[in-house]
Chains A and B, each alone.
Chain A
């Protein structure tokens, strides 16, 4: 028995299967013992053997199928238990526990509403069987027997509804756990990227320092490779500076528009490009907003650096729980094959998908230039 339980991994649904196995085996044993000890029907031995066989069968089936048992199988299980109760002839039956154990898997696997519906249907089935096997209304006059009848009827409802609620809470807990894991993983990834960047940048500064220390006017200092190397180092450190700022962005409040008017606007001004930021605004504290910022700033940078645009307009619109952000430039446009391959565009698309949105690239206003559109569901607040 413990081997069986050990083979079940710790996923919550498998814990419900373990509960079912324990309950079903206990119920089967109780039924068989009661049949053997007292005379219930004329075919006690047969019924005992039948119930034990059925117990083994259903336990094996549950372990094999786990959570994939469709409603049909559960219904058949309930019907089989009710039939056994009928065969024993009375609603107070050795098979009652067996009937209760049929409710465990449906109550914990179905959605809460359907689970409760299933349980109510099963309890009604039991009531029907009780009526069919003949309720002696006369004998129900005494309180203990009336109380016993009421308990027998209500117990399946209590157990079923309790299990349904417990299972739903567990499901919600799992979703929350997974979400927070994902967020912390992403934060960790960003931190590592920052550290790597920082370290690499310091090494470049060290290299620059060493190269510039060559005595001025000496042959070594004037050599073309050295001069070119110095230029490359300078370009590399300035690029890393920009991307490090991007990695660190949105650490302390502020809004999306303000962030767009920060570094991207600085770069635009330096390149002599006019940058216009209009429309709705989001608080950067919302993690979605930082992703939107990265996509938009990447699009703006592309427009400045590669598309040779002179004017870039960024607009954010929010309606109906959706956010639509567009970056339009009047540059030379993206040629068909270049557009979907470049690294920058790929990272934009990845970010868009990460926040559950869509990125589309098309021609700009009047056919020339480029329009980049980011659409995503956004239910947060606006700034």
Chain B
């Protein structure tokens, strides 16, 4: 039975998500918090985290990386409000999928269950790689393609014969380049 935590700074959206997810039989509990600090200090066990890209004091992608560094990391779904948000930086940050906020409720529940069972939900990844192509250095493209396909950073380092730390650094640089700009 899945425990879900929604992290979004808009109260109306939190209320909507919680209402909808609590009605579903497959979801044991659903809570919502407004900022990254509260999310990181969330004590109860967590199966899936639903994160907005933009938080008022924080960054959705960085929060995703923080969650994934834990020992029993939850599955992370990025919740995208704008069509301009790219799925590629989410994938690089370790997220298991991206869903748009325009997604109807049944599909949202499906996506949550998919990532809870270990799957990935990336619909527009190929498009995003193509769209962000011009921004990325050519040397980084093979690394990104492999990561987008699901390889782990260690596997990438082995194949490319470079240091895993170098892979990490390159990935961070690309994420910073591609991530959506903050509101202010």
Contact = CB atoms under 8 A, between A and B. Distances in A.
Interface stretch (B37-45, B76-84, B144-152): B76-84
B17 interface: yes
A148 interface: no
B15 interface: yes
B10 to A, nearest CB: 4
Contacts of B102: 205, 208, 234, 237
A228 to B, nearest CB: 15
Nearest to A216: B106
A234 to B, nearest CB: 7
A209 B16 contact: yes
A213 B13 contact: no
Interface residues of B, number: 23
Contacts of B16: 205-207, 209-210
Interface string B94-110: 00000001101110100
A321 interface: no
Contact of A209 (B17, B81, B82): B17
Interface residues of A, number: 26
B12 interface: yes
- Interface secondary structure of A, over-half rule: helix
B83 A209 contact: no
A202 B13 contact: yes
A202 B84 contact: no
Interface string A178-207: 000000000000010011001101110111
A194 B19 CA distance: 27
Chain A CB within 10 A, most for which of B19, B101, B181: B101
B183 interface: yes
Nearest to A194: B183
A213 B184 contact: no
A241 B115 CA distance: 27
Given A202-B10, A206-B16, A212 B183 contact: no
Contacts of A251: 181
A252 interface: yes
Contacts of B19: 210, 213
A322 interface: no
A244 interface: yes
A201 B16 CA distance: 13
A252 B178 CA distance: 13
A244 B82 contact: yes
Interface in B98-154: 101-102, 104-106, 108
A212 B81 contact: no
Nearest to A234: B102
A209 B183 contact: no
Given A191-B184, A208-B104, A237-B102, A201 B81 contact: yes
Interface string B63-95: 000000000000000000111100000000000
A103 to B, nearest CB: 52
Interface string A257-292: 000000000000000000000000000000000000
Contacts of A241: 82-84
B176 to A, nearest CB: 13
A202 B8 CA distance: 10
Contacts of A199: 10
18 contacts: A191-B184, A195-B183, A198-B81, A199-B10, A206-B10, A206-B12, A209-B104, A210-B16, A210-B20, A212-B104, A212-B106, A213-B19, A213-B20, A216-B106, A234-B102, A237-B102, A241-B82, A252-B181
Of all A-B residue pairs in the complex, the 4 with the closest CB atoms, nearest first, are A206-B16, A212-B104, A213-B105, A202-B10
Interface of B: 8, 10, 12-13, 15-17, 19-20, 23, 81-84, 101-102, 104-106, 108, 181, 183-184
Given A206-B17, A209-B108, A251-B181, 7 more contacts: A198-B183, A202-B8, A203-B12, A212-B105, A213-B105, A245-B84, A248-B181
